[in-house]
Amino acid sequence: MGITRVLVANRGEIARRVFATCRRLGLGTVAVYTDPDAAAPHVAEADARVGLPKPNDYLNAEAIIAAARAAGADAVHPGYGFLSENAAFASAVQSAGLTWIGPPVDAVRAMGSKIESKKLMSAAGVPVLDELDPETVTEAQLPVLVKASAGGGGRGMRVVHELSSIPDEVAAARREAQSAFGDPTVFCERYLPTGHHIEVQVLADSHGTVWAVGERECSIQRRHQKIIEEAPAPLVERTPGMRAKLFDAARLAAGAIGYTGAGTVEFLADEDGEFYFLEMNTRLQVEHPVTEETTGLDLVELQLLVADGGRLESEPPTATGHSIEARLYAEDPARNWQPQAGQVHTIDVPGVRTQFDTLGQRTGIRLDSGIADGSVVSIHYDPMLAKLISYAPTRRQSALVLADALARTRLHGLRTNRELLVNVLRHPAFLDGATDTAFFDTHDLAVLSAPLADATAVRWSAVAAALADAAHNRVTAQVFGSVPSGWRNLTSGYQVKTYRDDDDSEQRIEYRFTRTGLEFANDEAAHLISASPDEVVLADDNGVATSFAVARYGEDIYVDSARGPVHLTAVPRFPEPGAGVEKGSLVAPMPGNVIRLGAQVGDSVTAGQPLIWLEAMKMEHTITAPADGVLTQLDVATGQQVEVGAILARVEVPGNEGDS
């Protein structure tokens, strides 16, 4: 009979991606969702939707299968993450009489344990890095990488440089692995500080055809999680014979476990092109769009074809051109990658030619997004918001097109890694193809995270915000609405607007309207061309004009221009009494759940000592003592949920008792 209605056992961007292909093929769609996702775009887009009781129920196989039956689905697509590589779930789906849009259960099981998969690949002749037992690691084997045996995405991974740190890092990795994948098993392997993360997309049918579709390079990573991926791989392009060896190894890996469907064989390679098997992901990868763009394939459509018993062509299409994907995360790279949660007021990517579909090998931008205007980013899930994917005939053009689209995106409401992505894509080393896994260590993360707008652009953006606010006041005034704000028959004092930028610097704008036009108290170099509540045009002394788009959300003001995006916070003229934070206070940098405490009230603590562990977005984050002192206040307990900005504790430093 064939597949007619697909339930996606996932959320966000990947659920929308699968739904898009299903719609093109005329298939029905079913979404599952938890309370934090009730208003998410993937839920609204499905033909039918079924609620799940708890935030972690994307890991509840029984509830998902019950949802599929209730909604009349006859097939389940797992997406990536959650239960996508869980053999027991795949088996349960099939036992329920549903079609599993994935590889055979035995293949999922064989590759589901990184420990066992390495043994299997070694026996098949695929080069591997030896597994190390955390209990027996020696000084000579350092540094090592602690890894979760199940799952991926950087969860449950820790680099260890000292033997004394291994027990704590293993324990933390186990907690993360349990939270993200339901399996706390971890292992160690030798850590290569610099290398290239190269992977091969494979696709196989049940009739004996196995494709090595193309390779991807995913070496730009943070916390062992990819943020920029591309096809083809620069290292492979410049290393004669490497592609053929990679493809042979990937096909060998797939054949060794009787693989069918879409999967990815991941390798770690050195600069000379020698490579070692890392793992096989028995699912669709986050970065699959770059392979789609360079080949013209719809990998989800092919997954459905294979699951329905269909045949692949004898050979895959030849890849052409270059595609790069950038993952847009709600996080702050400059502050140890702190995840962010809250509302996305606006996301507007200019020049998007397609969403969840290939560009047809034409230069442009594709957007695969899990959010829309008004979406709320929860603390419960991965902080990835969207993926921007470029295609162009050359790698350099693909990078520049993508950087430009990111830089001009109107993104309001959350701090993101957008600046980092743009700076990496425009960096000379990246453009030269020098993209090993130590990129952030080599090129200074602080520099790469720098704002796109320089000090002058920030100042002009503050001027534009002040003038837009004045225009807004004129438009909304009950009387004298057409009279410029501050206008008098005689010269009046200056109007004053004060803002804080993201560097916590004060931007004080003093202006007045006179008979001869706009006048600034501080001899601003900007000259007003026009002003409305949402757009201000300013020119420099040479007459070169720039348009500034201004958007307000309470005290938050976002100014977008060709000079770079700027976020400002309006400073009230009369601050609330007691609004300051007492010195030595530890403030929650994100919403999260307190999972551990490192000290009690009255304890002496040292600068940098971990005091509170928060879990947010399936990762652990530590809050440390700001200085040597005594913990005099502790306002949280294990298991407590906290909001961003909440006072968690206070450390009193000797000699500062009277400070405030």
Task: Please state the three-class secondary structure of 55-79 as a single string.
Answer: CCHHHCHHHHHHHHHHHCCCEEECC
The span from the CA of 551 to the CA of 468, in Å, is 9
The span from the CA of 161 to the CA of 158, in Å, is 10
| Crossing angle for the helix pair 105-112 and 87-95, to the nearest 10 degrees | 160
Q: Is the pLDDT of residue 578 over 70?
A: no
What pLDDT, on the 0 to 100 scale, is given for residue 438? 93
Q: Is the pLDDT of residue 659 over 50?
A: no
| First and final C-alpha spacing in the chain | 73
Position 216 confidence tier, pLDDT thresholds 50, 70, 90: very high
Of 598, 548, 541, 547, nearest in space to 568 by CA:
548
Across the range 46-58, mean pLDDT stands at 95
Position 32 confidence tier, pLDDT thresholds 50, 70, 90: very high
The pair of structure tokens assigned to 476 is 């909304």
What percent of the chain has a predicted confidence (pLDDT) above 70? 95
What pLDDT, on the 0 to 100 scale, is given for residue 154? 72
| Range in 81-95, 122-136, 267-281 the model is least confident about | 122-136
Position 338 confidence tier, pLDDT thresholds 50, 70, 90: confident
Cβ-contact 128, 277 below 8 angstroms: yes
Position 489 confidence tier, pLDDT thresholds 50, 70, 90: low
Cβ-contact 269, 217 below 8 angstroms: no
Find the Cα–Cα–Cα–Cα dihedral 281, 286, 290, 295, rounded to 10°.
50
Across the range 471-489, mean pLDDT stands at 66
Name residue 231's amino acid.
Answer: A
What pLDDT, on the 0 to 100 scale, is given for residue 148? 86
Of 660, 651, 655, nearest in space to 600 by CA:
651
Averaged confidence pLDDT in the chain: 92
Across the range 257-264, mean pLDDT stands at 97
Position 370 confidence tier, pLDDT thresholds 50, 70, 90: very high
What pLDDT, on the 0 to 100 scale, is given for residue 166? 93
What pLDDT, on the 0 to 100 scale, is given for residue 488? 54
What pLDDT, on the 0 to 100 scale, is given for residue 487? 52
- pLDDT single digits (tens) 182-208: 888 888 888 877 899 999 999 999 999
Domains of the chain in sequence order = 5-101 (3.40.50.20), 129-190 (3.30.1490.20), 321-449 (3.30.470.20), 455-570 (3.30.700), 585-652 (2.40.50.100)
| Range in 17-26, 149-158, 299-308, 531-540 the model is least confident about | 149-158
At a CB cut-off of 8 Å and minimum separation 6, what does 263 contact? Answer: 103, 111, 201, 202, 203, 204, 254, 280, 281, 282, 283
Position 580 confidence tier, pLDDT thresholds 50, 70, 90: low
What pLDDT, on the 0 to 100 scale, is given for residue 660? 40
Q: Which helix (H) or strand (E) holds 170?
A: helix 166-181
Q: Is the pLDDT of residue 492 over 70?
A: no
Q: Is the pLDDT of residue 520 over 60?
A: yes
Find the Cα–Cα–Cα–Cα dihedral 290, 295, 296, 297, rounded to 10°.
-90
Write the DSSP assignment of 284-345 as a string of letters: --TTHHHHHHHH---HHHHHHHHHTT----SSPPPP-SEEEEEEEESEEGGGTTEE--EE--
Position 490 confidence tier, pLDDT thresholds 50, 70, 90: low
C-alpha distance from residue 524 to each of 485, 511, 520, 626 (Å) = 19, 9, 6, 39
List the beta bridge partners of residue 427: none
Position 658 confidence tier, pLDDT thresholds 50, 70, 90: very low
What pLDDT, on the 0 to 100 scale, is given for residue 569? 96
Q: Structure pTM? A: 0.86
At a CB cut-off of 8 Å and minimum separation 6, what does 452 contact? Answer: 407, 419, 422, 423, 564, 565
Phi, psi torsion values for 283, nearest 5 degrees: -165, 180
What pLDDT, on the 0 to 100 scale, is given for residue 590? 76
Q: Give the gyration radius of the chain's Cα atoms.
A: 27
At a CB cut-off of 8 Å and minimum separation 6, what does 161 contact? Answer: 142, 143
Eight-class DSSP state of 153: T
The pair of structure tokens assigned to 199 is 């992977």
Can you tell me whether residue 166 is helix, strand or coil?
Answer: helix
Cβ-contact 502, 451 below 8 angstroms: yes
At a CB cut-off of 8 Å and minimum separation 6, what does 11 contact? Answer: 32, 33, 34, 37, 40, 42, 58, 79, 370, 381
Cβ-contact 104, 87 below 8 angstroms: no
List the beta bridge partners of residue 411: 347
| Range in 394-408, 533-547, 637-651 the model is least confident about | 637-651
The pair of structure tokens assigned to 40 is 């998410």
Write the DSSP assignment of 191-244 as a string of letters: --SS-EEEEEEEEE-TTS-EEEEEEEEEEEEETTEEEEEEES-HHHHTSTTHHH
| Range in 38-52, 90-104, 261-275, 520-534 the model is least confident about | 520-534
Cβ-contact 121, 158 below 8 angstroms: no
List the beta bridge partners of residue 190: 144
Of 370, 403, 201, nearest in space to 289 by CA:
201
Total length of the chain: 660
What pLDDT, on the 0 to 100 scale, is given for residue 491? 60
The span from the CA of 486 to the CA of 144, in Å, is 65
How many Cα atoms occupy the beta-carbon half-sphere of 22 within 13 Å?
25
Across the range 36-45, mean pLDDT stands at 97
The span from the CA of 150 to the CA of 114, in Å, is 7
Helix/strand number for the chain, H first, E second = 17, 40
At a CB cut-off of 8 Å and minimum separation 6, what does 260 contact? Answer: 103, 104, 107, 204, 205, 206, 306
Give the sheet arrangement for strand 364-369, strand by strand: 275-281, 261-269, 196-204, 210-222, 225-231, 322-329, 384-392, 364-369, 352-355
The Cα angle at residue 227 between residues 185 and 330, in degrees rounded to 5: 90
The span from the CA of 168 to the CA of 174, in Å, is 10
The span from the CA of 58 to the CA of 78, in Å, is 10
| Range in 406-410, 491-495, 595-599 the model is least confident about | 491-495
The Cα angle at residue 396 between residues 392 and 401, in degrees rounded to 5: 55
- pLDDT single digits (tens) 316-328: 999 999 999 999 9
Across the range 48-65, mean pLDDT stands at 96
Name residue 499's amino acid.
Answer: Y
Q: Which of 331-340, 412-421, 630-639 has the highest mean pLDDT?
A: 412-421
What pLDDT, on the 0 to 100 scale, is given for residue 243? 98
Cβ-contact 108, 88 below 8 angstroms: no
The span from the CA of 89 to the CA of 106, in Å, is 12
